Amino acid sequence: MTPPLVGVSGRRRGAAGAHDGPAALDVLQVEVYFTGYADRLAEAGALPVHLPARADPGEVMSRMDALVLTGGSDVDPALYGQEALPSVRVDRARDDRELALLAAALERDVPVLAICRGMQLLAVHLGGTLVQHLESHPLGRDDTHEVRFAAGSVVHGIYGGSYRVNSLHHQAVAEPGAGLVCVGHAPDGVVEAVELPGRDVVGVQWHPEQLRHADPVFAWLTRVAMVKSSR
C-alpha cells in the first residue's frame, strides 16, 4: 500500500552552525526540525514531507494525508490576549504560518498530530489560553512522569489508561478552546493530551519523537492518514 503523505512543520533560523560551507553562508537561513519526527513517521510506514515556510497552506494541505505540528518556541501570548512574561520567547512568523496550516488542515478534515508547542498552538487556534510558565513541572529529555488518560478517548485507545512520558516544556494548556477536550493529565494536573471528538486530531504535550522506544501515536497517525489517502 502507498505510504500516506504526512506534512511536518518546522522553523526558519540563521544558517550559522547548520552548514559545512564558508562563513559567508552564515547570513542565509535554513528550515529545520529535529530528525526524530521524520524518523518515527517513516518507521511507522508514513512518508514524511517537509513543509517549507513559503508553501501555500491551502495548496499544501490539499495534497497531504496528515499534518504534524512540531515543538519549538513559545506561542505569542498576544494571540490569546495576554502580555508575554519575561521567560517567554516567541516566533510570531512561525505562529502565523502554522496557524494557517492548521486552519487549512481542519477545514479539509486532514488528521493532525500536534506535539508540545503544536498542542498549545492547537488550543490557541480554537480560542484557548496557555499557562505561560510552569515553575515546577519536571524538565529534561530523560525525565519521565506518568500521564493518565480519560476512558473512551482516542489517546486511551492508543496508550491504555496511563503512559510514561518525557517532559521538555515550561508552558501548558490552560483553557483548551472551543470543542477541544483535555483527555490526559500529569499527576500535578498539567494537561498532557487533548483531542477533538469525532475528528482525527490529537495533541500531546510530551515529545514522542524523542522517546527511546516507539511511541504508538505515530502508528495511529499513519493508520488514520492511510484511511484518508484511500478515499
Specify the CATH number for the domain of residue 94.
Answer: 3.40.50.880
Q: Which of 98, 192, 195, 209 is catalytic?
A: 209
Stated as kind and residue range, the H or E segment containing 29 is strand 29-32
Task: Kindly name the residue from 125, 156, 169, 207 that is annotated as catalytic.
Answer: 207
**Predicted local distance difference test score (pLDDT) of residue 138:** 56
Among 116, 125, 156, 192, which one carries the catalytic annotation? 116
Amino acid identity for residue 223 in this structure:
R
Taking alpha carbons only, the member of 42, 163, 182, 40 closest to residue 122 is: 182
How many domains would you assign to the chain? 1
User: Cell 508575554 sits at which residue?
Assistant: 84
182: annotated active-site residue: no
Domain that holds residue 63: 5-229
Q: Is 116 a catalytic residue?
A: yes
The DSSP code sequence of the chain is -PPPEEEE--EEEE-TTS-SS-GGGGGSEEEE--HHHHHHHHHTT-EEEE--TTS-HHHHHTT-SEEEE---SBPPGGGGT-PPPTT--B-HHHHHHHHHHHHHHHHTT--EEEETHHHHHHHHHTT-EEES--SSS--EEEEEEEEEE-TTSHHHHHH-SEEEEEE--S-EEEE--TT-EEEEE-TT--EEEEE-TTSSEEEESS-GGGSSS--THHHHHHHHHHHHHT-
How many other β-carbons are positioned within 10 Å of the β-carbon of residue 56?
11
> What per-residue confidence (pLDDT) applies to 139?
52
What per-residue confidence (pLDDT) applies to 153? 98
Q: What is the pLDDT of residues 189-208, one digit of tens each?
A: 999 999 999 999 999 999 99
Element (H, E) at 224: helix 217-229
Low-confidence ranges of the chain (pLDDT < 70): 136-143
